[in-house]
Structures are given as structure tokens and as C-alpha cells.
Structure 1
Amino acid sequence: MNKFLLAVHVLAAIVAVGPVTVAASMFPPSARKALAEPGDAQALSTVRVLHRICRVYATVGVAVPVFGFATAKNMGVLGDTWLIVSIALTALAAVVLAALVLPRQTALIEDVEGIGTGGEGARRATARLAMVTGLFNLLWATVTVLMIVRPGSTTGA
């Protein structure tokens, strides 16, 4: 059962978290391009698709901690420090995505569509979004390393 849960956990992380990190990273430069070329339907379409990927896969990404908890429980490692740190970083990454990345993407799409405030502030907002997205990606990279290295593990990994 452990192998099945671990396999689903890892597959969910690859299939769900991977697209979010890539799409979120592509969003700021795409939004800058769309802001620089008002009325460009292709640029607007690109930022909409990237935002939708982030929203949909963030929802699907809930499977990652669900199967992660099930795996950790079966393996008896719920109290291990590396796992507790990973859980905290995962929760922080979820907060960054839900509270900072997705709302800022929405605001930038409104700017591109001409609904938002736009202007130079929107261009600066893309830089801030890029920074927040980088933090989100760094948190996931750290969790990934902790899942592989598992400090204090006796498995020799």
C-alpha cells in the first residue's frame, strides 16, 4: 500500500504542481508583452490560458498533500522533522499561490483587458508578481529536496 500511495503522491506532484510552477513563471513575461501590445488578442489569450492553468491545477494539486499525508501515516513518519517542515512549506506555498499569485494574475488580466487601472503600475505589478511566483517556486523546490533527501532518514537516500 505504501508504494501505491507514494506513487500517486509523486505523480500528483508532477502532474499538478509542475504545470502550476511553469504556467505561473510564464505569466509575468506574457502579461508584460500583452500590456506592451494593447489589443493583441493572442497575447490576451495567452495570459488567460496561463491563469486558467494555474487555477485548475492548483485545485488538482490538493491531491498532493492528501496522498502525502496518507503515505506518511502508513510509513510512520508523521512526526519526523523533515516532514513537518515540508508540510509547513507546502502550506506556505499554497497561501502564496492562493493569496498572492492568483489574485495578482487576475488583476493583471483586467489591466490587459482595459478593465483595471493599467499604466505603469501594471508593468511594475508584473515584476512584483514575478518575485512572488519565484518565491512560490522556491518553496516547492525546497519541499521537493526535503522529500528526496529526508534528513535523518535511515534509508540511505
Structure 2
Amino acid sequence: MAKFFLVLHVLAAVIAIGPVAVAASMFPPALRRAQAAPDDPAALTTLRTLNRICRVYAAVGLAVPAFGFATASALGVLGDAWLIVSIALTAVAAGVLALLILPAQDGAVAAAGTPGFGRVAPARIAMSTGVFNVLWAAVTIVMIVRPGSTTGA
């Protein structure tokens, strides 16, 4: 059963987190283009699409920790330090996405076409997205290397 949960966990991570990381990374340059051409409907459509991808796949991403906990429980590693670090990093990444990236994207999309649109800061969204992506890279490293585990590299 552990292998089954592990496969689901890894598939959920690849299918859910990958699109969020890519779409969130594409959003700031698309925002800059939309700000440079505020009358371009295609630019606004791109922003809305990238925001929608981030929102939908963030929700799908809830399966990642669910399958992760099932896997860890089946393997009996719920108390291992590497897993606790991974859980903490995942929680911080989820917080960055839910509290910084998605609201900033929503605000940028809502401001499109208004006089305040040019004041939306793509750099702040890019920075939050970079932090999110680095956190997920760290989670991946911890999950592979598993420092302190008896099976770690």
C-alpha cells in the first residue's frame, strides 16, 4: 500500500505543483506586457488564464500532502526529522501561495483596465513566486536526500 500512496503522492506533486510553479512564474512578465499595452485584450486574457491555472492547480495540490501523509503513515516515518522539515517547508510554500501570490494576482487582474493598473508591482509578485519555487525545490531535495534517516543518501 505504501508504494501505491507514494506513486499517488509523486504524481499529484508533478501534476499539481509543476503547473502552479510555471504559471506563477509566467504571471509577472505577462503583467508587465499587459501594463505596457493596457488596451490589448489578449494580454488581459493571458493574465486571467495564468491566474486561473494557479488557483485551480493550487486546489488540486491539496492532494499532495494528503497522499504524502498516507505514504508516511504506511512507511511509519511520521516522526522522522526529514519529514517534519518537509511538512514545515510545504506549509510555508502553501502560505506564500495562498497569502501572497494568489491575492496579488487577483488584485492585478481586478485592477486591469483601471487607472491603478500601472501601480500593481510585478516585481513583488515575481519575488513571492521565486520564494515559492525555492521552497518547493527545498522540499524536493529533503524528500530525496532524507537527512538523518537510516535510508538517506
TM range (shorter): over 0.9
User: Structure 1: which amino acid aligns with 2:86?
Assistant: S
Where structure 2 has 5 or more consecutive residues not aligned to the other structure, the ranges are none
What pairs with 1:1-150 in structure 2 (closer than 5 Å)? Answer: 1-114=1-114, 117-119=116-118, 121-122=119-120, 125-150=121-146
CA contact (8 A) 1:12 1:63 kept: yes
Give the one of 143, 146, 151 matched to 2:147: 151
Aligned length: 153
Percent sequence identity over matched residues?
A: 65
| Aligned Cα root-mean-square deviation (Å) | 1.1
Question: Alpha-carbon deviation of 1:152?
Answer: 2.1
User: Structure 2: which amino acid aligns with 1:147?
Assistant: M
Question: Alpha-carbon deviation of 1:39?
Answer: 1.2
Counterpart of 1:154 in 2: which secondary structure?
coil
Where structure 1 has 5 or more consecutive residues not aligned to the other structure, the ranges are none
CA contact (8 A) 1:31 1:112 kept: no
User: Structure 2: which amino acid aligns with 1:66?
Assistant: A
User: Structure 1: which amino acid aligns with 2:88?
Assistant: A
Q: 1:42 and 1:147, CA in 2 relative to 1: closer, same or farther beyond 3 A?
A: same
State the 4+ residue runs in structure 1 displaced beyond 3 angstroms.
none
Partner deviation per Cα, 1:98-153 (whole Å, 9 max, x = no partner): 11000000111122232x7223x22xx11011001100111111001111111123
